[in-house]
Structure 1
Amino acid sequence: MQPELQNQQPYQPPAPQQINAAIPDGNTPQQQPIGSGQQPVDQTSKTQSPKDKKKNGAISTQNTLLFSEMRDNMIIMSDGSFRAVVECQSINFDLMSAREREGVEFSYQNFINSLYFPVQILIRSRRVDIGPYLDRLAEIRRNQDNMLLNVLMDDYMDFIDVLAQEANIMDKSFYVVVPYYQKGDESVTKQQAKGLFNSFFSGKKETSVTKIDQVTYTKAKDEIKNRLDSVMSGMFQMGVKSRQLNTRELGELLYTSYNPDTSSRESLASIDPSDLTTTYITKGQGPPPAGRGLL
């Protein structure tokens, strides 16, 4: 029995004109994609010159620093303003009586109302390094002849070591930053309203040198001294001991602020300032030395 093939039609290849119509040639305009947005531009044809690449390079760390130098116990900022820092000791407010607390609160209120210039209160929390303390205890133990005291010191050292590993022992420092602006304190408020992040994302900046004449510097130094006396007098009324940081201590404060991890291992206290002969740090040329990876 043969199958029925009456309803089937033989296959006919399409005409050449139909095949050519399905494939667009160079003269036929292509159909635009759906959407009302602007069509993407081919970026492969654009090439950047070496000057444009250098101009669009990464921002240097030195250009992002907001200070220029430190001199006469002051920090000279990149915009020509000045800063002085007062370190304050803490007081135990919780152990005070109600009358003592009220006296501290009124003194703080009078201190804030007496200020005619802006101040910044800085609180820094750092993890305490117990290593030097344990090394000192180990040195005392080696010089101890009493066996009972040696056993007690071993237990105490083990307790301190375990406690430092399990809990974060923090040390808080309190500072009051006293500024001085050449253009006045009110005009600086508009400048600070632009935001700090503009300096990081505004592109690569050229290294600028801050120039201040002797008259302006002397005036700023005298005004900073008057403001420091006002701040330290207000702190004394609250029962808070305070002192101004010198130039070396200002450098250590900035160093520990910008390098929190490195400063715990490499301290500036053992470095002689006369050994620092290089003012600016530049990037080295060529590949890094063999055997040293990037940090």
Structure 2
Amino acid sequence: MNTTQQHLLISDVKDDLVLLKNGGGVLILQVSAVNFGLLSEREQMGIIFTFAQMLNSLSFSIQIFVYSERLNISSYLTLLDKAQKAQTNPLLSRMIGNYRQFIRVTIKENDVLDKKFYLVIPLYSLELGLTASKESLEQKIKTVLLPRRDQIIRQLNRVGLRATQLDNQKLIELFYNIYNGYFVETIPAAGETEKIEVSLKKPQPIPQSKPNTVPSPQAQETSPLVSQPSRTHPFVVEELEE
């Protein structure tokens, strides 16, 4: 029986590296972000110039990967709940509760995304040549990729960015989230758990509009005000709560 892993290029995750089926390897760095819009024009030009120098100094290829995922604030809500219970001042306790409710409503009504930035350093099998065994291949991959990693980290430090290499556990979690991107956000309330799901209503017929006619003056005086039925789109996204 075929599995999904047979269709992927990944052979194994070992020694904080991704080994490929074609004999190559990949090293992934997670890079911190900088709020570019808050910098002055001189600082922005300095970052652009330094980053361009870094790209021009590289003798190997890199890939920049931006991953967006829905922000899970379950632990933060739990922290606020504990802070509210530990607060002895009634006014501060009520303010913490109102703030917690505001965060819950904001997350339910809006998609709050968390962006993570990765820099991928690939190593192709053509660069490695022929190897005698799998162990020698893995050692050769580390010998080539680790100096490239150190060079990238030094260059990013000049820009003011901090880069860290992903270990085995973080690599597995990253690829799992990429290939299993859909999930139901769980927001625990006090003593209960809520799930936010999106579904489609069944198509509803759109009421036919009658031709415009000018009513008589007598009808205008005697007929009461009746609200017109609103037109309903056949597909409406609604939010279900359990």
Normalised by the length of structure 2, the TM-score is 0.70
Is 2:189 the partner of 1:252? no
Match of 2:111 in 1: 168
Q: Are residues 1:139 and 2:60 paired?
A: no
Residues in 2 aligned to 1:264 and 1:233: alpha-carbon distance in whole angstroms: 38
Aligned-pair identity (%): 30
1:239 alignment partner in structure 2: 160
| Structure 1 residue identity aligned to 2:175 | L
SS at match of 1:168: coil
After TM superposition, give the deviation of residue 89 of structure 1 in Å: 0.3
Does the 8 Å CA contact 1:255/1:263 hold for their aligned counterparts? no
Structure 1 residue 216 displacement after superposition: 2.5
CA distance in 2 between counterparts of 1:215 and 1:229 reads 22
1:80 to 4, 16, 23: 23
Q: CA offsets, 1:245-283, max 9 Å, x none?
A: 111211111122122235967xxxxxxxxxxxxxxxxxx
Larger RCO of the pair (alpha carbons < 8 Å, separation 6+): 1
What does residue 63 of structure 1 align with? Answer: 6
- Aligned mates of 1:118, 1:151 — CA distance in 2: 55
Letter in 2 for 1:178: I
Structure 1 Cα separation of the partners of residues 7 and 21 of structure 2: 10
- Determine if contact 1:128/1:170 at 8 Å carries over to the other structure: yes
3-state SS of paired residue (1:225): helix
For structure 1, the 5+ residue unaligned runs are 1-57, 188-210, 266-295
Q: TM-score, length-normalised on structure 1?
A: 0.58
Q: Deviations over 1:127-182 (max 9, x none)?
A: 11122211221122122222111211111111111111122111110000101123
Q: Does 1:153 align with 2:100?
A: no
Q: Deviations over 1:70-127 (max 9, x none)?
A: 1111000111110010110001111111211111111111111111111110001111
Secondary structure at 2:38 match in 1: coil
Structural RMSD (CA): 2.2
Which is strand-richer, 1 or 2? 2
Of residues 41, 44, 48, the one that matches 1:101 is 44
The DSSP-based 3-state class of the residue aligned with 2:59 is coil
- Code of the residue aligned with 1:222 in structure 2: it is T
What does residue 222 of structure 1 align with?
143
Contact 1:256 1:263 in 2 (8 A): no
Asked whether the equivalents of residues 22 and 125 of structure 2 are also in contact (C-alpha less than 8 Å), the reply is no
Gaps of 5+ in 2: 187-242
Distance 1:70 1:98, change over 3 A: same
In 2, distance between residues paired with 1:137 and 1:160? 10
For 1:148 and 1:130, how far apart are their aligned partners in 2? 24
> Structure 1 segments of 4 or more deviating over 3 A?
261-265
Count of residues paired in the alignment: 184
In our comparison, the structure showing a higher alpha carbon Rg is: 1
Q: 1:264 to 1:62 in 2, by over 3 A?
A: farther
Mapped to 2, the partners of 1:70 and 1:263 lie a distance apart of 27
CA deviation map 1:175-210 (0-9, x unaligned): 00101123139x9xxxxxxxxxxxxxxxxxxxxxxx
1:264–1:67 distance in 2 versus 1, CA, 3 Å: farther
Find the aligned partners of 1:159 and 1:130 in 2 and give their Cα distance: 13
